[in-house]
Chains A and B, each alone.
Chain A
Amino acid sequence: MKSFIYNKALGGKSGTIGLAVLAVILLLVFPLAMDNFRLNLVGKYLSLAFVAIGLVLCWGYGGILSLGQGMFWGLGGYCLAAFLKLEAARNIAAEAGSDQINALTTVGLPDFMDWNQITELPWFWYPFKSLPLTLILVFLVPTVLAYIIGTAMFKRRVSGVYFAIITQALCWTMELLFVTRQGWTGGINGITDLRTLLGWDIQDPGNQRILYFVTSLLLLGCVVLGRLILGSKLGKLLVAMRDTEGRVRFSGYDVANFKTFIFCVAAAMSALGGAMYVLNVGFMSPKLVTIEPSIYMVIFCAVGGRMSLLGAVYGTLAVSFGRTYFSESFPDLWLFLMGGVFILVTMVFPLGLAGMVDRLTGLVASKASAATDAPGLETPVSEPVSPPPA
């Protein structure tokens, strides 16, 4: 049992060291080095890293490039935001009178519904009155959607670029749905002004620190879960399917089922990230469901190294820190700087940060198996941005 945990979940010696280093950085270095505002920002970045980890599983290993992960991430976020909004709407009764904003909104009804002349809570909002139901739905809704998409696509053997394009289209459709049904979803404004979770103030600086730690621990949990999957027979099958799908099929495996499974796992992880994002940031916006953040998520993964679970976390942190730093220092140039960095990374480090670390440790130790992360890192991959042969 002990060796199972050590070898599979932690990934052997190098894997354990890698995980420990990340844990120390997230749980000790950042909280000690940063003030509440910056730490909260890191919490926000980390909630995007959930998606990147999911992408390592389904893209890096499974060969399924999805340009629409924001869809699942957003659904998870919207589900939790719905619960928090209903709680905020119930609390209006206590606050009304002192605050003009609340003077004309109906108790128990989210403010945006009032503005859109919706007088009764729509039926599909009812489950979000209960926290346990909401928590189930946070995972269930995106996973079921991923299952439907997966079954529809993979059974028909849609893959590669075609699949990527379809996910992107679906993602856009999802955004349109949220924007145009504004009475139900808050439209382009999103669901804003979320304050408490069961009376616990999520905007309080101390509580935001706690949320940061919860986010970090859940993220580390996802890394371990990812390693368990990759270390199992399923992980080997994934790589086999990615490299020569036909042979796996002829060996008697139902490729579509495995693909759907890993796609659903990635979706569920994204959904968890979305929910953590809502808690860290305090609102949900359709801007987060759309194509742009979905592509950012793929970039996180590519920068970190799409074959490395830990690399995905570092990639997310590096790109997000860069984005914040550049946009604060050069408000009118930052997009160009980000573009420059992406070009630099893909040209110089096609395997991402993890590939770079791998190469450096490989140089120092002069041995081929100096992988810092999960087994399989040394699988040669030539082009990081285009989908691998499916």
Chain B
Amino acid sequence: MIPASFTSPFRRATRAVLTTATLLAAATATAQVKDADFISGHTNPVLDKYPTAKVNTTGLLVDDNFVTVGQLHSVTGTMAISETGSVEAERLAISQINAEGGVLGRQIKVIFEDGGSDWPTFAEKAKKLLVSDKVGTVFGCWTSASRKAVLPVFEKENGMLYYPTFYEGLEASKNVIYTGQEATQQIIWGLDWAHTERGAKSFFLIGSDYIWPRTSNKIARIHIERFLKGCKVVGEEYYPLGHTNFGSLINKVKLKKPDCIYSVVVGGSNVSWYKQLNAAGITGKSLAKKGQILLTISTTEDELLGIGGENAEGFYACMKYFQSLENDNNKKFVAAFKERYGSDSVIGDVTQAAYLGPWLWKLTVEKAGSFDIDAISAASGGIEFPEAPEGYVRIHDTNNHLWSKARLGEMTEDGQFVVLAESDELIQPNPFPEGYK
């Protein structure tokens, strides 16, 4: 049926177009992911040594002067707040590599895709990057769920994923380089520290309810019960992701009086968790008076930004990297990061691990003399990166994880950490811990 007046849709159309335009204007005003810098009129100085036919035998998006890589993170949805740091760090590394002359004489271009905090979208975009764009190498993913969603795609299409987040282990794909620490690297040394340095004998394990906290606490429990003399676990509790009411948990903690509150609470829940602890009178100072500590493996500088340093002062975290690390590599990295993204930006553990990705890839490609994924996969074992902000790191010979140190930091009022201790040696990655099954 024809509407009585055919003019009204046009009036409506004008209104709708105006609304849409306003929305778009608002959108452009919001922060955007900056494009990586590359020199556009670049010519390859080492082309005769590395001709395209030799470095790219599998039809990847590599020509004489440029190589294209993929980047796959969430910049929309609930994970955007966490993943933005990784996006920025990877872009920084890529622009630095380009400024140094690129990889095998080729400038790096980036195709960015948004995972939208949605695991099926991650899988779709991963496939697009590998199959349609032929990028081969992708820096990306953050949550375990997104990695699990893209893993079959990377294995099937033979791509290489550089994955930055500390995670639960139980995985070692030839198509992934894990630049964050797997669970044992982060947990065991930290528990030993709590036991020997702070005399902790009873532990209360707390976590968000998904695979990483559960696996982490499983390893923690086995380590406490089997390997630490006279120590015991007095409680283990899980709450859904995004949970905000920790009142009953805090009561249980008060009742059990553990020497160490071991927290693997993740993401936004952290804000309520620490604020409610504070409100209940459990602070770094009050714990210290009673000889107790709160140790976490899930709170970095990024989370402290939301929690507020004053709510978390005096609690401890075990990570491989803190922004306050005193070494020349890190000072250079922090300065470059702040210059590019503003002086009030902060760098957490995962952000630094993401920064390692492009550098490790560059070193691997140069060792292999090829951009082909099989060549990268074969050359990855043993790659060393002495300029890493966290200090020297090396890719394990067989399992594609990094050898790295563990460090213990105390949270301060300004949302940073004071580094109290670090492991003497690099800790070997052990994604399938035999004694901890």
Q: Which residues of A contact B (CB under 8 A)?
A: 35-38, 40-41, 44, 100-101, 103-104, 112, 115-117, 176, 179-180, 182, 187-190, 192-195, 203, 281-283, 285, 287-288, 324, 327-328, 331-337, 339-341, 343-344, 347-349, 358-359, 362-363, 368, 378, 380
Q: Are A188 and B123 CB-contacts (below 8 A) given A101-B172, A343-B16, A362-B2? A: no
Give residues 30-48 of B contacting A (CB, 8 Å). 30, 32-33
Q: Closest approach, in angstroms, between the C-beta of A195 and any C-beta of chain B?
A: 7
Q: Closest approach, in angstroms, between the C-beta of A73 and any C-beta of chain B?
A: 12
Question: Residues of A contacting B172 with CB < 8 Å?
Answer: 100-101
* Nearest A residue (CB) for B168: A115
* Nearest B residue (CB) for A41: B124
Contact A189 B112 (CB under 8 A): no
Contact A380 B1 (CB under 8 A): yes
State the main secondary structure of chain A at its contact with B.
helix
Contact A368 B1 (CB under 8 A): yes
Number of B interface residues, CB 8 Å? 60
Question: Residues of A contacting B32 with CB < 8 Å?
Answer: 332-333
Cα distance, A336 to B27, chains bound together (Å) = 6
Question: Residues of A contacting B118 with CB < 8 Å?
Answer: 287
Q: Are A359 and B2 CB-contacts (below 8 A) given A182-B210, A336-B27, A347-B15? A: yes
Question: Residues of B contacting A380 with CB < 8 Å?
Answer: 1
Q: Confirm or deny: B385 has a beta carbon within 8 angstroms of a beta carbon on chain A.
A: no
Question: Residues of A contacting B215 with CB < 8 Å?
Answer: 115
Question: Residues of B contacting A282 with CB < 8 Å?
Answer: 123, 152
Question: Residues of B contacting A287 with CB < 8 Å?
Answer: 118-120
Cα distance, A112 to B33, chains bound together (Å) = 35
Question: Residues of B contacting A116 with CB < 8 Å?
Answer: 211, 214
Q: Confirm or deny: B144 has a beta carbon within 8 angstroms of a beta carbon on chain A.
A: yes
Cα distance, A365 to B437, chains bound together (Å) = 73
Q: Are A104 and B33 CB-contacts (below 8 A) given A333-B24, A344-B20? A: no
Contact A283 B149 (CB under 8 A): yes
Q: Are A363 and B2 CB-contacts (below 8 A) given A339-B23, A344-B16? A: yes
Contact A104 B437 (CB under 8 A): yes
Contact B19 A328 (CB under 8 A): no
Q: Are A37 and B128 CB-contacts (below 8 A) given A203-B156, A344-B16, A348-B13? A: yes
Q: Closest approach, in angstroms, between the C-beta of A191 and any C-beta of chain B?
A: 10
* Nearest B residue (CB) for A371: B1
Question: Residues of A contacting B17 with CB < 8 Å?
Answer: 344
* Nearest A residue (CB) for B209: A180
Cα distance, A149 to B5, chains bound together (Å) = 42
Cα distance, A362 to B76, chains bound together (Å) = 42
* Nearest A residue (CB) for B240: A180
Cα distance, A179 to B243, chains bound together (Å) = 13
What 6 pairs between A and B have smallest CB-CB spacing?
A: A340-B20, A336-B27, A331-B114, A347-B16, A100-B172, A37-B131
Question: Residues of A contacting B23 with CB < 8 Å?
Answer: 336, 339-340, 343
Q: Confirm or deny: B113 has a beta carbon within 8 angstroms of a beta carbon on chain A.
A: yes
B27, B152, B240: the one within 8 Å of A179 (CB) = B240
Q: Closest approach, in angstroms, between the C-beta of A302 and any C-beta of chain B?
A: 15
Q: Confirm or deny: B246 has a beta carbon within 8 angstroms of a beta carbon on chain A.
A: no
Cα distance, A362 to B1, chains bound together (Å) = 6
Give residues 61-84 of B contacting A (CB, 8 Å). 75-76
Question: Residues of A contacting B13 with CB < 8 Å?
Answer: 344, 347-348
Excluding A189-B211, A193-B148, A349-B9, 13 further A-B contacts by CB distance (< 8 Å) are A101-B172, A115-B215, A116-B211, A182-B210, A188-B145, A189-B210, A190-B145, A190-B149, A283-B123, A327-B121, A334-B114, A340-B23, A344-B17
* Nearest B residue (CB) for A347: B16
